[in-house]
Structure 1
Amino acid sequence: MKKTLFAVFALSLVAFDAHAISRHDIAGMSCSHVQGIVRAEGAAILRYPSPRNPSLTLYDRFVAHGGYCQIDEEAVAFFVPTADTASCAVLKCQPRIFQPFGDD
């Protein structure tokens, strides 16, 4: 029993590296570059100018696939402005909409 408690205590002292999510200002990037960043990192925070008011900066978390979303979320297409296009397709986690009786 003492050995088990000691082992649990020793393991609790081990520090693990935290993987912080990276942030990218995408205003000057191409669409393929932005998509490549998200694909390579799995998830990233992208900052971009608001389409309606370019003086405002918007940001959100974008993912490579649904595996980076919470269990009650799904990855849906979202479009951000980049240097070469006004609507670059990336994936964003959104709450899953529960429909118990189908799409009727």
Structure 2
Amino acid sequence: MRISVLSLGLVAALVATAVHAQSRPYAPRMSCRAVAGLVAARGAVVISTGPTTYDRYVRDRRFCEITEVTQPAWVPTADSPQCFIGYTCKEAETEDFFPRWR
């Protein structure tokens, strides 16, 4: 009895994980406008950019951690090989705050 309850719990966790993994928007099957609109509407969203690749895209810096800055992000979509959809967050470097004057 105890083994079957444990097995049932494990199966439920695996199914939940598989369903969650499939729920990410898949940019290569969407239009550029649709993907950019999704980021703009939600503010931050994890989007798949290929069969095994994904990232978190944001509308603006408010959706990043305090130590992060934004970096422009382009992804492949159904109608564009490079669609600007918003930004990704990256750890800030000293030069992001204090640029070198040359």
Q: TM-score, normalised by structure 2?
A: 0.68
1:84 paired residue number:
79
Residue 97 of structure 1, aligned match among 82, 93, 100: 93
Residue aligned with 1:23, SS = coil
Q: Deviations over 1:76-97 (max 9, x none)?
A: 1011100011111121101111
CA RMSD of aligned residues (A): 1.7
Q: Between Structure 1 and Structure 2, whose CA radius of gyration is higher?
A: 1
The match for 1:65 is: 60
In structure 2, the CA distance between the partners of 1:98 and 1:87, relative to structure 1 (3 Å rule), is: same
CA distance in 2, matches of 1:80, 1:93: 15
**AA aligned opposite 1:95:** E
Counterpart AA for 1:45: V
- Stretches of structure 1 that go unaligned for 5 or more consecutive residues are 1-21, 50-55
Runs of 4+ in structure 1 off by over 3 angstroms are none
Structure 2: where are the runs of 5+ without partners? Answer: 1-22
Listed as ranges, the matches of 1:1-104 within 5 Å are 23-49=24-50, 56-89=51-84, 90-99=86-95, 102-104=99-101
Distance in structure 2 (CA, Å) of the matches to 1:23 and 1:43: 12
For these two proteins, the number of residue pairs brought into alignment is 77
Compute the displacement of 1:101 (Å): 5.5
Structure with a larger share of its residues in helix: 2
